Structure 1
Amino acid sequence: MNEEITLREVADYLDHVGIQFMATIGLDGKPKVRPMQYMVLEDEKLWFCTNSKKEVYAELQANPTIELCGCKLEKDEIQTPWIRFSAEVVFEERQDIRDAIIEKSAIVNALYKDMRQNPIFKVFYLKHIDGWLTNLGNVKGLEHKAEFAKPVHFRF
């Protein structure tokens, strides 16, 4: 259990960033990175969505391990926080989660609002999350500056 940062704080930061980048292992065995957007926090789980016709869905079926990284450059660039974590993807058929995502995301709403039960619309959550929230000024090998936020390790 993590004591320094909550799952809600991770979710709020992902919302602040807007778009994150998810790395998967491609069907060809090579890494693939693509934009992905965290959608909702429900049942103490971070939920995302995809389409079963996309390559990412097939990749996650074959190897459900991902890394996710996100950052939104702030005015004080060197203090800009960024997040990176690994996790395992779990697909689950949850209409309530589909509905919550459709209500939250303008993109998903435009695509699926009239097809809420379309079987290609897949939702998944992350488990075994292990990562860091740090800042651009925290660079290994350089002298640590007291005014910079300290990196925070988390596991959920």
Structure 2
Amino acid sequence: MPETTMNEDITLRDVADYLDSIGIQFMATIGLDGKPKVRPMQYMVLEDGKLWFCTNAKKEVYAELQANPSLELCGCKLEENEIQTPWIRFSAEAVFEERQDIRDAIIEKSAIVHELYKDMRNNPIFKVFYLKNIDGWMTNLGHVKGLEQKAEFARPVHFRF
């Protein structure tokens, strides 16, 4: 990766707000067959200083994260000025926790989850998890070989939480 800066000003709230602004991210896991798997995933809520997500215990992603909690998440929303489009990528570990307050917050935030679980808030297949050991980058699409020396492009920002 090109010259980088470690920006102490970036907060977990900044990361959460960016994830909210792009809507859907893509999460990579190690499949039960040992091969990488990538799927759309949506960040849900920031609570207790943690980024929370949800899934269904019957889905492969749940089994994969139980077997190997390591994941990577990547996302961006193409802007009108493609070169300045910001993007994010980070690695983390999933930690599943039984938290009804988090389930309720997610049900209230997400129309899809609301439709699935509004009458089954305690359904044992509705699983929530947060991310720990987050280590990643925020940068822009213009920061590529041949363009990285342009002063108007923000430098990649490394963050850890």
Q: What pairs up with 1:7-156 in 2 under 5 angstroms?
A: 7-140=12-145, 142-156=147-161
Match for 1:33: what amino acid?
V
Q: CA deviation at 1:143?
A: 4.4
Query: How much identity, in percent, do the aligned residues show?
Result: 88
Q: Match of 1:139, SS?
A: coil
RMSD, aligned α-carbons:
1.2
Residues in 2 aligned to 1:131 and 1:59: alpha-carbon distance in whole angstroms: 21
Q: Is the 8 A contact 2:142 2:148 kept in 1?
A: no
Distance 2:140 2:82 in 1: 9
The SS at the match of 1:99 is: helix
CA contact (8 A) 2:83 2:140 kept: yes
Q: Determine helix, strand or coil for the equivalent of 2:72.
A: strand
Cα distance in 2 between the residues matched to 1:11 and 1:134? 15
Judged with a 3 Å threshold, the aligned counterparts in structure 2 of structure 1 residues 138 and 87 are, in CA distance, closer, same or farther, namely: same
Query: Is residue 2–residue 155 contact of structure 1 (8 Å, CA) maintained in 2?
Result: no
Alignment TM-score, normalising by the size of structure 1:
0.97
Distance 1:105 1:97 in 2: 12
Q: Is the contact made by 1:4 and 1:152 (CA closer than 8 Å) also made in structure 2? A: no
CA distance in 2, matches of 1:26, 1:65: 11
Number of residue pairs the alignment of both structures matches = 156
Question: 2:102 and 2:153 mapped to 1: Cα distance?
Answer: 37
Instruction: List structure 1 runs of 4+ shifted beyond 3 angstroms.
Output: 140-143
8 A Cα contact 1:19 1:35, kept in partner: yes
Structure 1: state its 5+ residue gaps. none
Cα contact 1:23–1:34 (8 A) shared by 2: yes
